[in-house]
Amino acid sequence: MPQNNQKISWWQRLTIADGLFLLIGVAAAILRFAELGHIPLSPAEAAGALGVWQFWQPDTAVITVQSPAYFTLTALLTQLFGFSDAVMRAVPVLFGVGLTLLPWLLRRQLGNMGALVTSLLLAVSPLAAITARTANGDAIALFALLLFFAAWLRYEESEELRWFYAMMGAVALGLTSSALFYGGLLTLLLTHRLDGALLGPYDYTWPRRGIWQKAGAFGLVVFLALGSLFLWHLPALGSTASLLGDWVRSFGFSGGLDALINPLLTLVRYEIVLLPLGLMAMLWLLKSNGRLPNFMMLWAVLLLVLLALQWGNPSIALLLMLPGYLLLGQMADDVLQGLDDPLTWIFTIGLVLLGALMFVNIARFARLVSYSAEDLSNMWLALFVFVFTAVTVYFFWAWAQRPTYQALILAALVLFGFYQWGTAWWLGHDAANDVRERWVQAPATDDDVPVLIHTIQEISSQASGSDVGVDILNSVDSPVLHWYLRQFPQLTMANAVPLNTQTGIVITLQNIEAGFGSDYFGSDFGLLRTGLVPESLGSPLPTLDTIRWWFFHDSHAIATEERVVLWIRTDLVQP
């Protein structure tokens, strides 16, 4: 009988799961790439971006390199697409999209359903999205950490050397990216050690010494290339050592209890899906004997220990997100097998509708309580829906346990996934510099900065016929102003304004007296948001204020500002 030896092409091997992964990747790219340059760079972002720009300028004495991997890859990208806020954030965005697709490598360990759920949760994660839209090395570090873990598991399974080389490359990438990588790598290695001690050694063989040498050499080449712009800027290698120093200095017990629990509150604020599904995962873990779920839980516990040792390091929230979502993916693959029962889908639709009804009524009450505090009709309706839902779940559980459990997980994924997508869009596209958000660290760049630069360009166009032809004296030492004024060739930096200056445009801090030699008029602009006014934080109804902020981004808190004055010589705008 003749045999068909025709080779199957790659596109013929594609499955529905591969198509769903592609759709998730597209959604993640839209969330992360859209309006990438809409919000001005923060001071920390501006300092890193300025270092990239300075590298390509002649006669630059000092170049600031915060993340060598970010510096190397962004410096190359700028030669193709120029210097803009969007380009400065493009490399982290690419790694952020890659992070959402990495669970595809873990299909054999998590299962197709588990990998899809993990990828979906990472795609709509507000913390993953805002990290990907931030011009630093944190998104690269998260990608390197998950790539290392995925390659590790694939090597344990197949002992293929390509995965061992991928591990070495991931370590090299992580060591040149951010101090965040050190905490993730250390806890991951300790988890492997403790897991082997508790549950027995792993059944695989490490490579021979010769393979170690070759893989180590490969990792060293990647490390040197990413850490020094392919040996083009060797001083950047010193910044890789400073990353380790930054991580070591983060250990300590400074701050109160609020600082300690801040990363956990950050997870509750932005990754709220971990709360209900995390409790379900705990119950599921009691019945599961799988080694990978236990590994995830142990990794999360060690990260909590690291959180205590570093006393509230906010970046720990990013690391806790990884084992949390991997554990949820493992649970989803086990529970969501066999979704062919109509009861599962009927009950899921019902739970989604009831959950949406509760959401709308709670949100409406929080919105209207300031105007009609005695009207509790929305809360009573929400309470009635909650009780009705709980009773219904109880009876369905007694009748058909597995479809009910599946419906609970599916409904939670739909409702909280929808909420997290909206939160991720708000945080990344509108609130990245809003110090009222828990994730945003002061100082942050004020939204007036683009208006300030546009005003200077308009005046320059009127006075010289060029958007960048006017002479400027800037006496404000800020990386934000250094970055956005870099395009003006007649820019002069000074610590103070000289007496009787005749410069066309002068920028000073507010309330700074300057002696001008001509007639000037000025207008003030916000430069930095430095914190919150303490008197604006008190509230008789803090819970309702929190709900109103989460749902409607409405808050009584007022940001404190550092403002600058734009002084314009009168003759520049005279007809």
Percent of the chain at pLDDT exceeding 70: 95
Where residue 500 falls (left for φ over 0; alpha for ψ -120 to 50; beta otherwise) is left
More confident position, 196 or 454 = 454
241 found inside a domain: yes
547 lies in the same domain as 411: no
487 lies in the same domain as 557: yes
296 lies in the same domain as 369: no
How much is the average pLDDT of 488-495?
90
237 found inside a domain: yes
Q: How does pLDDT run across 345-376, given as a tens digit for each residue?
A: 999 999 999 999 999 998 888 888 767 767 78
User: Is the model's pLDDT at 9 over the cut of 80?
Assistant: no
Task: State the distance between the two ends of the chain, measured CA to CA, in whole angstroms.
Answer: 94
More confident position, 337 or 417 = 417
Three-state DSSP at 408 gives helix
Last residue of a domain, one of 319, 335, 351: 335
304 lies in the same domain as 355: no
How much is the average pLDDT of 547-551?
86
pTM, whole model, 2 decimals?
0.93
The pLDDT confidence band at residue 301, using thresholds 50, 70 and 90, is very high
User: Is the model's pLDDT at 199 over the cut of 60?
Assistant: no
384 lies in the same domain as 485: no
Three-state DSSP at 271 gives coil
439 found inside a domain: no
Where is mean pLDDT largest: 68-72, 372-376, 489-493?
Answer: 68-72
Beta bridge partners of 566: 507, 523
The pLDDT confidence band at residue 321, using thresholds 50, 70 and 90, is very high
Using CB atoms within 10 Å of the CB of residue 418, give its burial: 0 to 12 exposed, 13 to 18 middle, 19+ buried: middle
383 lies in the same domain as 475: no
User: Is the model's pLDDT at 95 over the cut of 50?
Assistant: yes
More confident position, 313 or 449 = 449
How much is the average pLDDT of 184-192?
93
Question: 192-201, 502-511, 529-538 — which is least confidently predicted?
Answer: 192-201
How much is the average pLDDT of 483-500?
90
Cα distances (angstroms) measured from residue 17 to each of 99, 335, 497: 17, 17, 64
Token match 């594609």: residue? 14
Give the pLDDT confidence score for residue 3 in this predicted structure: 52
Three-state DSSP at 340 gives coil
Give the pLDDT confidence score for residue 556 in this predicted structure: 85
Q: How does pLDDT run across 228-249, given as a tens digit for each residue?
A: 999 998 988 989 999 999 999 8
Percent of the chain at pLDDT exceeding 90: 60
> DSSP assignment, residue 249?
H
46 found inside a domain: yes
Range of 559's domain? 444-572
Exposure string over 57-86, b if 16+ CB within 10 A, otherwise e:
eeeeeebebbbbbbbbbbbebbeeeebebe
How much is the average pLDDT of 426-430?
95
Question: 87-101, 469-483, 495-509 — which is least confidently predicted?
Answer: 495-509
Beta bridge partners of 563: 526
- Work out how many domains the chain is built from and give that number: 3
* CA–CA gap between residue 228 and residue 48 (Å, rounded): 15
Last residue of a domain, one of 335, 368, 402: 335
Asked whether the beta carbons of 509 and 476 are under 8 A apart, the reply is yes
375 lies in the same domain as 465: no
9 found inside a domain: no
202 lies in the same domain as 220: yes
Give the pLDDT confidence score for residue 554 in this predicted structure: 85
Last residue of a domain, one of 429, 460, 487: 429
234 lies in the same domain as 293: yes
5 found inside a domain: no
316 lies in the same domain as 406: no
Average pLDDT, the chain: 89
Give the pLDDT confidence score for residue 373 in this predicted structure: 66
User: Is the model's pLDDT at 485 over the cut of 50?
Assistant: yes
The pLDDT confidence band at residue 1, using thresholds 50, 70 and 90, is very low
141 found inside a domain: yes
40 found inside a domain: yes
User: Is the model's pLDDT at 328 over the cut of 50?
Assistant: yes
368 lies in the same domain as 330: no
139 lies in the same domain as 268: yes
Cis peptide before 443 (omega within 30 of 0): yes
